[in-house]
Structure 1
Amino acid sequence: MQGIPSAEAQSRYDRYPADTILVAPDGAILDYVPDRGDVVISRDGMGRRVFIDRYGNVLATEIRQETYRPARAEEYPPAPGGYRRFRDLGGYQDGYGYQDYRDYRPGEPGSVTGAIPGSGSVTRMPLDEQPMPGADDSYPQEASIEPDQQAIESLHPQKPIIAVTKKPQAEIAALQVFLDREGISPGVIDGHLGENVNKAIAAWQEMTGETLDPNNSEDIMQRLTYSGGLPIIDYTITAADAAGPYVAAIPEDYAHKAQLPAMSYTSVTEKLAEQFHMDENYLKALNPGVDFTIPGTIIKVVNPGQPKAGQVTRIVADKGRKQVFAYGADNQLIAAYPATIGSTDTPSPTGTHTVQRIALDPGYTYNPKINFKQGNNDQILQIPPGPNGPVGKVWIALSKPTYGIHGTPEPSKIGKTNSHGCVRLTNWDATELAKMVKTGAIVEFVE
C-alpha cells in the first residue's frame, strides 16, 4: 500500500506535458503534481502555470525542461531540502479559501509640538489628512495598472518600467516583499497593485541600474529565495504579543487622547501587521477564523526585509511622485519610501533644509495658539507617545520651523492622502530612515 501514493502522483503528472517540470521557489524539482483541490493554479506573465497554496505561498512553477537552468553553486548556496512534498512547503488547511482581504473591513487635525526627550520641543504644522482628488481606497484584487510615465521618465529615463499585468494576490504580495527587502518600500504589503508598487519598481531600477520584470514570477521567487526565503511564513504568537499593552480605541478628541496612558496599538492584529509591514486586513485574510489573542497560535505572516543599513547624507522629498529618496555620501540611492507630502491648501516647504533633531517614540504637544483649534480644546495638551500618536513612532525635525518627517498611525493611507505640510511615512519606514540619518543631513523638497 505504501507504493500507491507514489504511483498515483506519477499518474497525475503524466496528464501534463512530459517535457515540463515543476520547480519550487528554492530551485528543487517536485516529483509530483499537487491535487487541484489543494492549490490555486494561476499563470505568470510568461504564460506558465504557477501552483499556489491556500495561504498564498507559491509552491512551484511549471517550466519546460530545456529552459530550466538551476543556479550555479558559485552564484547561490544549494537549494535546501531536495524534492519536497506539498505539505513540506508550508501546507494548507481544508476550507481556507483564497480571499480578498477587503472583506474584513470593519484624522488627526492640528498644529503640534513634539516633545523630544533631551532636545526640547518642536513646533509642527497641522497633520490632518485629506483624500487626494480621485483617491479611492477600493481597488480590484487583480488589476492592470499603468505606471505614471511622467514620474518614471523623470526618475530614470534609461530604464522604462514594465507595467504589471493581471496577477494573483499572492504574486503581487511576493513582488512587494521583494521590494521591501531591497530597501525600496512599497508601503503596506497587501497583495494589491497601485502606484506605490510602480514607484518602488522605478526606484529599484535607479538604485541597481537593472531592469526588473515584475511579471516574471520565477525570477521574483528566485530572488526571494536568496534574500530571506518564502514571502509568507509561519509565526507563533507570543505571550508578549497577546499581552500588549493595548488600548481599547484611539479617540478623535485630543483632550481624550491626552488622558490615555499611551497611544498604544488597539489590538494584536494591528501590532503584528505593523511588525510584518502588512495591511491589517490582509493579515486577517491570511488567517481566517484565527483568535490572535491566544499565545502559541501559529499564523501566516509576511516575511519582510531587515532594516536597511547605511549612512544617509541627503534626503529628497519628491512632491510630485509622493516619494522620499535617501542617498549616501556617494550620491547613490540607499532607500526609497512612499510618502504623504503636503497639500494644495497647506503645502510642504520648498528648497533645501537640514535635519535638526531625531526622536524615536516622541510625545506630542497640542497647542491651539500655534496653527489650529481642534474641537472645543483651547488648552495646551500633552499627548503621550506611542505608535498611534499623531506623528507615529518617529519625528525627524527639520531646520524649517514646524516641519518634519514622521511616522503615522494609518500606514495604509501613505501615498493616498495629503498631509498638512509635513512628510509622512509608515512607522517602519520612518524608523529605518531615522536610524540611517544624522543631524545636519540635507533635505531637499522638489516638485
Structure 2
Amino acid sequence: MQDVRAIAAPAVPTRRALLIAAAALLAPSAAAGAEPDQPPDDAVMRNVSGFVAPRWQQHFSSPANDVILVDTRSRSLFFWSADLRVQRIFPTSIPIREEFTRRGRTSIIRLVEGPDWRPTPSMLRRHPDWPTWLPPGPGNPMGSHALHLTWPAYRIHGTHDDNKVGRRASNGCFGLYNHHIAELFHLVRVGTQVRVI
C-alpha cells in the first residue's frame, strides 16, 4: 500500500493578503533607490475605500511658503511643507450650501490663536437672533485657532462642535477639530498658498 501523507490544499489568499501584496508591488522600493524624504506615490496613499490623496504638483507650480489644498468633495484639507518633509491630511467641514462655497487660490494673511467671532451682515440677515460678537471660548464657532485668508470673512479654523467636521456645516469657512487646527497653526505661516477645489 502506498504511503499517503496528508496533502495540504493550496492556501487561498485572503483579501488582506492580496492588498498587502499589491501595495508591496506598487510601493517605491528602498532597494530601487527611492528616497525616504520623497512623498509616496498616489498608489501608496490609497486605502481600501479607494480614497486617493492628491499630489501637490496637480494644484501648485511650487510648494514655496508651504501649500494647503482644501478638497470640498472629499471634505479633506491637505498640507505640504515647502521642503515636502511634512505632509498632513485633516478632515474638514465645508459650507452648508454650494452658494457659500468659494473656490480658487488664496493665501494665509493672518494667524490668530484664541480668535473672537463676528458674523457677517449676510449671516445676521439669515440669523437675526445671533450675537454680533463672541469672545474666544467654548461658545465661539471659530474654535481655538484661525487662519485668515485673503478672501474677506473666509477662514480655516477650529470648532468646538466636533459633529460639524466632515459635514456640510459652515457658512463658508472650513472647520477642523481643535487639535488638528492647533497642529496646522504651528506648521503654516503668513503667505502659505491655499487652493480650494
**What is the Cα deviation at residue 333 of structure 1?**
5.1
Report what 1:255 is aligned to.
none
Q: 1:371 to 1:332 in 2, by over 3 A?
A: same
Aligned length: 151
Report what 1:402 is aligned to.
153
Distance 1:160 1:425 in 2: 21
Report matched runs for 1:70-89 at 5 Å. Answer: none
Does residue 317 (structure 1) correspond to residue 78 (structure 2)? The answer is: no
Letter paired with 1:425: L
Q: 1:162 to 1:397 in 2, by over 3 A?
A: closer
| Paired-residue identity, % | 24
Report matched runs for 1:263-412 at 5 Å. Answer: 313-331=66-84, 334-366=87-119, 369-373=121-125, 374-376=127-129, 381-412=132-163
Report what 1:433 is aligned to.
184
Distance 1:445 1:353 in 2: 8
Report matched runs for 1:110-125 at 5 Å. Answer: none
1:312–1:436: 8 Å Cα contact kept in structure 2? Answer: no
**What is the Cα deviation at residue 384 of structure 1?**
1.9
Distance 2:129 2:45 in 1: 52
1:387–1:427: 8 Å Cα contact kept in structure 2? Answer: no
TM-score by length of 1: 0.30
Q: Deviations over 1:133-156 (max 9, x none)?
A: xxxxxxxxxxxxxxxxxxxxxx96
| Aligned CA-pair RMSD | 3.0
Distance 1:420 1:376 in 2: 16
Report what 2:44 is aligned to.
159
Report matched runs for 1:35-54 at 5 Å. Answer: none
Report what 2:20 is aligned to.
none
Distance 1:312 1:327 in 2: 10
1:340–1:415: 8 Å Cα contact kept in structure 2? Answer: yes
Distance 1:352 1:331 in 2: 20
Distance 1:338 1:348 in 2: 17
**What is the Cα deviation at residue 387 of structure 1?**
3.5
Distance 1:426 1:159 in 2: 26
TM-score by length of 2: 0.64
2:71–2:196: 8 Å Cα contact kept in structure 1? Answer: yes
Distance 1:403 1:365 in 2: 12
Q: Secondary structure of the residue that 1:433 maps to in structure 2?
A: helix
Distance 2:129 2:171 in 1: 21
Letter paired with 1:424: G
Q: 1:162 to 1:401 in 2, by over 3 A?
A: closer
**What is the Cα deviation at residue 343 of structure 1?**
4.0
Letter paired with 1:351: G
1:388–1:408: 8 Å Cα contact kept in structure 2? Answer: no
Structure 2's unaligned 5+ residue stretches are 1-15, 18-39, 56-63
Distance 1:331 1:319 in 2: 23
Distance 2:103 2:74 in 1: 15
Structure of higher RCO (CA pairs closer than 8 Å, 6+ residues apart) = 2
Letter paired with 1:442: Q
Report what 2:4 is aligned to.
none
Distance 2:81 2:93 in 1: 22
**What is the Cα deviation at residue 390 of structure 1?**
1.0
**What is the Cα deviation at residue 386 of structure 1?**
1.1
**What is the Cα deviation at residue 370 of structure 1?**
4.4
**What is the Cα deviation at residue 423 of structure 1?**
0.7
Structure 1's unaligned 5+ residue stretches are 1-44, 47-154, 165-197, 207-310
Report matched runs for 1:62-101 at 5 Å. Answer: none
